[in-house]
Amino acid sequence: MARKYLVRTFGCQMNEHDSERIAGVLEADGLEATTEVSEADVVVLNTCCIRENADNKLYGTLGHLKSEKDRRPELEIVVGGCLAQKDREVVQQRAPYVDVVMGTHNVGRVSELLEAARRDGPTMEILEATAAADHEAFPSALPAKREQGWAAWVTIQFGCDNSCAFCIVPAVRGPEISRPFGDVLDEVRRVAADGVTEVTLLGQNVDSYGRDLTLRVRGEHDGAPAGTPSHEFVVGEAWLTEREAMCASGRARPLFADLLRAVGSVPGIRRVRFTSPHPKDMRAETIAAMAHTAAVCEHLHLPMQSGSNEVLAAMHRGYTAERYLRVVHDARIGIDDLALTTDVIVGFPGETEADFEATLEVCAEAQFDSAYTFIYSSRPGTEAAEMTAAFVDHAVSVNRMERLRAVIERSAVRANKARIGRVDEVVVTGPSRRDPSMITGLTRHNKRIHLPAPAGVRPRPGTYVSALVTEARMTSLVGEIVDIGDSPVHRTRIPVSAG
């Protein structure tokens, strides 16, 4: 009987994508997936460290697993991800029964590390972020076990060169390193051949993707003939053509707009999404690429964090509220029927009532379709964590959060109501959790929509349908199917163990 594994993910899309790779590696090693801890031979907890509740969730889960480990000593427990990268010794101290602690750059070695733990006892393997570029920065060759056969995440960069005062990412993911242009396209082509129709490009700051690649090519190859295959693989054809036209080394610039156009032209890819851009790096060519590449969805998630210039400066965000609103204006003018979402932090150290009022004003003007809103959470190792004298009282932050949500909800309802009477393209994601007679899907604007299943027909997940929007709710839409496209074709690559 095959051994079984369970992977639980705490965190963002980067963590989810890493979990897919971990699952793929374990299946290549002969394990089968399960959703029950009681059935699992291996439990992997893939962690986040952005907010305090991620710590609480991890240690709470580890507490429950201890009793299972006491009952079944052969159970193997792995803790990976950002929290493991940052607090490796703490994890081992608080949960000495964990078999493997591995960092963010050891995804491909999970089976190897488990074998080492069986042989030598509890194992910790943390590759420092600064060394990742020479190791396994982009484990694109690893097998992946995707939860949705029609959608895939594709990592285009890892790490971050920004210095946001509240963020721990640079410490755990390392400096910003872009994946070669051709490598990204090769993975997109592979997943498209497997039946994937929607890809989401992942990076900590996708706007700046490729700047380091063009710097490298310019620096290493000044005076060398442009257009060689190796150059094109690293930076793409468009930049090389531009460089040749300039009869010079070519300006070092981001390649994200070029990448959007290239990914959007891969046969079989119907939708392209990305997360997350940085407002200070949002360029006109990216807006143009979104507008003119049919596969790129009309949805922009643009993290604002605050509408106060003083708070933005304290956060080291690199833009003002006025600049942020100019980007919003340019995006709405340039991209027809754009949906705009954001992130907002309430109660950042030193935030005054006037600062918060400024945030409300910017949110009201931006007219977001939705927002991820958070009360500031201190993360050890960040600059903001040292601003203890300026911490905002929790009760004040809670009150501000309620007021912020009221503003966001008004614009969300307004945006959803504006879609009533329109026919939207919807990809079916599965049955409704609350009502089995309904199916659920996502529009190109990343809005969830609930649809009555046609009599005798239940479209499979990944099927594209046309739906008339008939009702608007605060966080979703309701509609009726007017046309059903072809059923999806998902091909599953059988992973082969290297052993």
Contacts of 467 (CB under 8 A, 6+ apart): 423, 424, 426, 441, 449, 451, 479, 480, 481, 482
CA 190 to chain centre: 20
- Could you list the beta-strand ranges (E) of 234-349: 271-275, 299-301, 339-346
Amino acid type, 455: A
- Give the position of tokens 């046609």: 454
Contacts of 223 (CB under 8 A, 6+ apart): none
DSSP 29: T
Is 297 a known ligand-binding residue? no
- Give the position of tokens 């531009």: 242
CA 126 to chain centre: 22
**Number of CB atoms found within 10 A of residue 53's CB:** 13
Is 82 a known ligand-binding residue? yes
Closest to 9 in 3D by CA, of 72, 89, 80: 80
Q: Which helix (H) or strand (E) holds 429?
A: strand 423-431
Closest to 145 in 3D by CA, of 262, 10, 44: 44
Note whether 328 and 288 are within 8 A (CB): no
Cα angle 240-243-247, degrees, rounded to a multiple of 5: 135
Structure tokens at 493: 């690559």
Structure tokens at 236: 């793409």
State the distance between the two ends of the chain, measured CA to CA, in whole angstroms. Answer: 18
Is 49 a known ligand-binding residue? no
Give every strand in the sheet of 370-375, ordered side by side.
Answer: 299-301, 339-346, 370-375
Is 164 a known ligand-binding residue? yes
- Give the position of tokens 């009599």: 455
Closest to 99 in 3D by CA, of 50, 127, 64, 62: 62
- 23, 93, 99, 497 from 118: Cα distances, Å: 19, 19, 8, 19
Annotated binding site for [4Fe-4S] cluster: 12, 48, 82, 160, 164, 167
Known binding positions: 12, 48, 82, 160, 164, 167
